[in-house]
Structure 1
Amino acid sequence: MRDELQELVDEVSRVLGAPATLEDAGFTLLAFCAHDDSGADPMDAVRTRSILTRGSTSETRRWFEDFGIASATRPMRTPADPAAGVLTRLVLPVRHEDRTRGYLWLLDDGRIDPDDHADPALRRALDLAADAGRTLAGRPADDLGQVLADALAGRPAARAQAALRLGGRLPGDGAQVLVALCPADGSPAPGRPLPAAGAVATVVEDGIAVLVPLPSPADLRPAGALAAASLAALPAGSTAGVSSARRGTGDLPGQWGEARAAARVAAAVDRFFPVARWGELGGWRAATALPGPDPVLAPLLADPMLATTAETFLDCAGSAARTAAALHVHRQTLYYRLGRIAALTGLDLADGDARLLLHTGLRAARLSGEPRFHRP
């Protein structure tokens, strides 16, 4: 396949009369070709680094992606940056099935008009770019979705090997998060375009897992943008969860658990809907680890009004004044309800352990989809 891609790049270079470079969507160099009719092929720092290191830095990726190349469907031109030693480029998106698979870059010195649809050379190059897209879509080495599935749910040996492969695809310092997409209708569609460069998606059980590279562990914007764009294409009521950020891929199963748990909270709690981040869940994180509410809460959960009163009281840190105001009831009504809660559960609401059991149990009930329990 590498020979096939090299022949394709050679032909693009010949047709357009310019040095050509083929990179995948993660900016990994796949093939390149010089075009040296005059003995003075143009070179710049970006092309040199790509050829020497078989890839680009995260800063280079961001610089080009800021021009919209990841979502481009037609040829476009990126500008030169003389101060940085960057030449202008013609970019041919390499796409297949509505997904960007890579890029063909040509250092043409600005000669070719990307909007000249009548140019036979450009039309031939676009046909070759389409061929490259089909090739990249079908290559086993490019099936990173299966690699991600192995890293999350494969056998231990397969997980470790898959994690290493994915780690080698991360740019810069290797920062990344996992995003869990949970379609409301329970029927994930993994072939949707991903609005984050370098993202890898796969179906795991009834959700979609997406590995999203980050500029840094503190910059979760790519994950947020991907989650928002993905949810817009999924059925109403779908949710997303974002794991904590890590450097490297050493704990992808742990991150997947965080992302899935966050998506469950997003589906159950209005203030987190539709996208919840693991790092912002607070006490809900403990509740996600429980299989369900303690059996002692069963009588309370049968009464939605009292269950809501108990949760509001605990959310208000046991303040009767704040609880009564939040529920819009008289304080004496609240005291009556609290007495009923204590009688039904046998729990002393003045005891810290009892409050902890009650609070986590009520939250676990929400996460388990207790049908008679009102949403907050």
Structure 2
Amino acid sequence: MRDELQDLVDQVAGLLGAPATLEDAAFTLLAFCAHPVDGGAPVDGGAPVDGGAPVDATPVDATPVMDAVRTRSILGRGSAPDTRRWFEDFVIAGAEGPLRIPADPAAGILTRLVLPVRHGGRTHGYLWLLDGGRTDPTDRADPALARARELAAEAGRLLAQREWTAGDLGRPLATALTGTPAARAQATRTLAAAHGPDTALVLVALRPAGAPLPAGWRGPGGGAISAVLHEEDRPAPLAAVLLPVRAPGDLRPAGALAAAALAGLPRGSTAGLSTVARGVAGLAERWDQARTAADVAAAVARFSPVAHWDELGSWRLLAGLAAPDPAVSPLLADPVLTETAEVWLDAGAGAARAAQELGIHRQTLYYRLGRIEELTGLDLADGDARLLVHASLRCARLRGNGPAAG
């Protein structure tokens, strides 16, 4: 969407021969175009183009191209509150056609043409042009102005699409994660129009414990999009939350938001966070990451209540196992030996450390390890056998039939 808006601004600037700036209804800068003056110089600074005069040497017959308002808007990515109030005094929010804003020399403000960016009977933003007063906003016979109005209307359509609320986008999010391939593609395009390709996003899975989501559950705010997903392989629905992230390398705000959302769910509920990526491509893969992280958080106490996919280590791979190896099934029937095997394997097969953690004598540990070999038929001196047992135990834990989470 950003490229489309930039293209529209470039076209308007070219049509009317003036620098153009696009802001949304909250006066946040969306795009701008530095239209060259007659001398070939870029109007917003920089080196001359094609040997033309630099900006501060603009010919006297060239359009004034820069004032304090435009400078602050570009540098600050939007207009200051006092500037906004000054423009709003000209009733621009309700205008349906072009308006002329007079100059204010005392404030360093040049005259400008404003094209309201409208769609569906609402104003979604403004196109500002520093045209030096050349364009008559009431001239309906001006073909350049007529075309500029059409482009402003197209910008309005794009901004209206961008302004979908989080509630409106819940259904597209659910479809993007669980729908058919064709439906996913359409839903992803809808989400992309809302967020753009450069927005850093993390996907959060909320996993209620022992009960469905409370009636009337609502997702967190903060620009998040939420959806409740009923998946065939799940006994209870999960909640998916798509959250913008300001600093891709810092997931603390996302983790805090997930923890706050868990406060409204049954005790023991968990959350999982996907990797952070820009845009909405690969949402289905990120959803697999998020719900796997939530499952691991529910099974392994050290990851609870909020687990990050990037921190799961081997659990990421183990979550993809369909079931424990049959050789380990007899072991799983004995809770004491199951715990012994897992603690010993987690300790790197170190007897002293495992015995200490279990609170037993080392000889007792050796006896139990012998019993484990008898039950499984595996030689625990063999590294492959230990890997098989370890992976199977963790797989069993993720599926709820392993030892108590530790």
Give the secondary-structure state (helix, strand or coil) at the position aligned to 2:213: coil
> 1:228 aligns to what SS in structure 2?
helix
Spell out, residue by residue over 1:7-26, the C-alpha distance to the aligned partner (whole angstroms, 9 max, x if none): xxxxxxxxxxxxxxxxxxxx
After superposition, what is the alpha-carbon deviation per residue over 1:95-120, rounded to whole angstroms, capped at 9, x for unaligned? Answer: xxxxxxxxxxx7379x9xxxxxxxxx
**Structure 2 residue identity aligned to 1:304:** P
Q: Does 1:277 align with 2:308?
A: yes
- Describe the shift of the 1:305–1:214 C-alpha distance in structure 2 as closer, same or farther (beyond 3 A): same
Q: Give the match for residue 403 of structure 2.
A: 373
What is the identity, as a one-letter code, of the residue corresponding to 1:351?
D
Pairing 1:281-320 to 2, within 5 Å after superposition: 281-320=312-351
Distance 1:189 1:146, change over 3 A: farther
Alignment CA distance shift 1:216-1:163 (3 Å): farther
Q: How does 1:320-359 map to 2 (within 5 A)?
A: 320-359=351-390
Aligned to 1:107: 85
Distance in 2 of aligned mates of 1:49 and 1:335: 72
CA distance in structure 2 between the aligned counterparts of 1:52 and 1:86, rounded to whole angstroms: 11
Q: What letter is aligned with 2:200?
A: A
Q: CA deviation at 1:325?
A: 1.2
Q: Which residue of 2 aligns with 1:88?
A: 81
Structural mapping, 1:189-338, within 5 Å = 189=214, 192-205=217-230, 206-338=237-369
- Counterpart of 1:319 in structure 2: which amino acid? G
- Contact 1:171–1:213 (Cα < 8 Å) also in 2: no
Which secondary structure state, in structure 1, belongs to the residue aligned with residue 239 of structure 2? strand
In structure 2, what is the Cα distance between the partners aligned to 1:323 and 1:142?
51
Structure 1 residues 141 and 364 mapped into 2: Cα distance closer, same or farther (>3 Å)?
Answer: closer
Q: CA deviation at 1:186?
A: 3.3
Counterpart residue identity of residue 297, structure 1: V
> Are 2:23 and 2:29, in contact at CA under 8 Å, matched by a contact in 1?
no
Q: Quick one: distance in 1 between partners of 2:223 and 2:215? A: 15
Size of the aligned set, in residue pairs, is 268
The one-letter code matched in structure 2 to 1:335 is Y
Q: CA deviation at 1:185?
A: 3.5
Structure number with larger C-alpha Rg = 2
Cα deviation for residue 193 of structure 1 reads: 4.7
CA contact (8 A) 1:179 1:259 kept: yes
1:40-51 superposed matches below 5 A: 50=28
TM-score with structure 1 setting the length:
0.64
Separation of aligned partners in 2, 1:352 and 1:307:
18
Gaps of 5+ in 2: 1-20, 33-71, 90-160, 231-236
Distance 1:317 1:259 in 2: 28
Contact 2:210 2:266 in 1 (8 A): yes
Cα displacement (A) at 1:335: 0.7
Give the superposition deviation at 1:191.
5.1
Report the Cα distance in structure 2 between the residues aligned to 1:52 and 1:243, rounded to whole angstroms: 29
**Is contact 1:241–1:260 with CA below 8 Å preserved after alignment?**
yes
Q: 1:293 to 1:141 in 2, by over 3 A?
A: closer
Q: Does 1:145 align with 2:170?
A: yes
What stretches of structure 1 of length at least 5 have no aligned partner?
1-42, 55-80, 90-105, 112-135
Alpha-carbon distance in structure 2 between the residues aligned to 1:253 and 1:186? 25
Q: Which amino acid aligns with 1:235?
A: P
Residue 167 (1) aligns with residue 192 (2): yes
CA distance in 2, matches of 1:193, 1:108: 38
Whether contact under 8 Å (1:152, 1:252) holds in the other structure is yes
RMSD (CA atoms)? 3.4
TM-score, L = length of structure 2? 0.59
CA contact (8 A) 1:44 1:87 kept: no
Shift of 1:184: 1.4
Shift in CA distance, 141/215, structure 1 to aligned 2, threshold 3 Å: closer
Which residue does the alignment assign to 2:129?
A: none
Contact 2:166–2:224 (8 Å) recurs in 1:
no
Q: Look up the match of 1:178.
A: 203
1:374 Cα deviation (Å)?
2.5
Question: Does the 8 Å CA contact 2:297/2:305 hold for their aligned counterparts?
Answer: yes
How many angstroms apart in 1 are the aligned matches of 2:255 and 2:213? 19
Q: Distance in 2 between matches of 1:140 and 1:281?
A: 33
Indicate conservation of the 8 Å contact 2:272/2:290, yes or no: yes
1:363 aligns with 2:394: yes
Q: Aligned equivalents of 2:346 and 2:167: distance in 1?
A: 48
Contact 2:211 2:266 in 1 (8 A): no
> The residue matched to 1:143 in structure 2 has which SS?
helix
What CA distance in whole angstroms lies between the structure 2 residues aligned with 1:142 and 1:324?
54
State the Cα distance separating 1:49 from its structure 2 match. Answer: 5.8
Cα deviation 1:189-231 (Å, max 9, x = unaligned): 5854544422111111210011111113212133212201100
- One-letter code aligned to 2:288: G
